[in-house]
Amino acid sequence: MRRHILPIASAAGVFLLAAAPAWAQHDPSRWEDLFSDHPSEYRARASGTSYAEEDVKDQNVSFSLIEESFSASGLLWKDDHDDVRLSAGVRHENIRTDAILPDTGVPFPDELWNVNLGVTYRYLFESGQVLGGSASVGSASDQPFHSSQEIVESFMLFLKVPSGERDAWLFALAYSNNREYANSYPIPVVEYFYNPSREFHAMVGFPMEFLEWRPDPDLSFRLTYSLIHNIHALATYHVADPLRVYVGFDWNTEGYLLVDRPETDDRFFYDEKRAKGGARLELGEGFSIDLSGGYAFGRKYGESSHGLRSAFDRVDIGSGAYGLLSLEWRLGHARERSDGPSKPDK
């Protein structure tokens, strides 16, 4: 009898945020394509974020930002054991500022792009083990695909091994040339998923920690940490169908390969923290809408080959309000399969 680890399956892949390019950090749900026993056959998400105009520290100029993003994935082929899917994503940041990068004297980029195309393959064994891999290529830059020096590549090989009725081990090897740490080196991943009940899930290991707790059917708490500067905390309350409200905190770091960077190893980092609140409406037929806003602070840009600690061309942006609107659509499940009656959840 096969045991599906559904309560944590879609969250399992989030650990790869520590090993993935920056575009993936804005849409962690796409990792369900890798590890969920029943990922959506097709999924699309569009969002827009607007930041209030703020001052630039030590420069007598202002800074405003509007971000648009779109991502999608779809099942290309499947049989009883295999499935193959394609994914794509694009994010565009429209920046209005007269700021300069202070050490090199170069004007601040007017826009930043992150474009990606990837493919994922999985083989599901009768025992419940999942063996697979993914590869992606794209460009994260102020001028995407300008040359081979602005290309972002990533790959991963993974094996998920059930442990007992509910738990699982995850072993992986992940590579990216746009990562905050161990950049352009393959890193090993070892995680253990602890799933004692439907109300509590945890993941411990390297390079991420994850915790989810549901003290009440309508209330949930989630906390995620991944190396180095990625923290996500969320408290969600189910008011009534179709409405959920939430509050949370995010700390994100993104990386770009500017065309005119001094050295090819340098990357242009953006680091930001957010306190947020919002509401999500399930509209039916797989559609949902999410409206949120809050306070963005600790916003800073800088160039470095080793992360923000040793950055030059440092530009600090004033704290202020932001708003976000996103639309999501999901259709079907890639695999509807049963190997006998399932035991009730404890």
Between 301 and 27, name the one with better pLDDT.
301
Residue 19 pLDDT > 50, yes or no? Answer: no
Of 17-31, 165-179, 285-299, the one with minimum mean pLDDT is 17-31
Residue 26 pLDDT > 60, yes or no? Answer: no
Here the tokens at position 69 are 């993003």
Q: What is the CATH number of domain 6-333?
A: 2.40.160
Here the tokens at position 176 are 């990216």
How far apart CA 96 and CA 53 sit, in angstroms, is 9
DSSP 109: P
Report pLDDT digits (tens) over 64-107. 999 999 999 999 998 888 999 999 999 999 999 999 999 999 99
DSSP 148: G
DSSP 16-78: GGGTS-GGGGG-GGGGHHHH-SS-EEEEEEEEEEEEEEEEETTEEEEEEEEEEEEEEEEEEEE
Give the model's pLDDT for residue 3.
37
Report pLDDT digits (tens) over 212-232. 999 999 999 999 998 777 899
Mean pLDDT of the chain: 85
Give the model's pLDDT for residue 288.
95
Here the tokens at position 240 are 């009534």
Q: Structural domain boundaries of the chain?
A: 6-333
Residue 14 pLDDT > 70, yes or no? Answer: no
Q: Give me the amino acid identity at 325.
A: L
Give the model's pLDDT for residue 337.
37
Give the model's pLDDT for residue 88.
94
Q: How far is CA 1 from CA 57, 75, 140, 164, 342, in A?
A: 61, 26, 45, 12, 8
How far apart CA 13 and CA 30 sit, in angstroms, is 8
Residue 35 pLDDT > 60, yes or no? Answer: no
Give the model's pLDDT for residue 128.
87
Give the model's pLDDT for residue 36.
62
Residue 242 pLDDT > 90, yes or no? Answer: yes
Cis amide bond preceding 262, omega within 30: no
Residue 15 pLDDT > 60, yes or no? Answer: no
Residue 146 pLDDT > 50, yes or no? Answer: yes
Report pLDDT digits (tens) over 159-216. 999 998 889 999 999 999 988 778 888 999 999 999 999 899 999 999 889 999 999 9
Confidence of residue 323 (pLDDT cuts 50, 70, 90): very high
Give the model's pLDDT for residue 58.
95
Residue percentage of the chain with pLDDT more than 70: 84
Give the model's pLDDT for residue 21.
39
Phi-psi region of 105 (alpha: psi -120 to 50; beta: other; left: phi over 0): left
Give the model's pLDDT for residue 31.
53
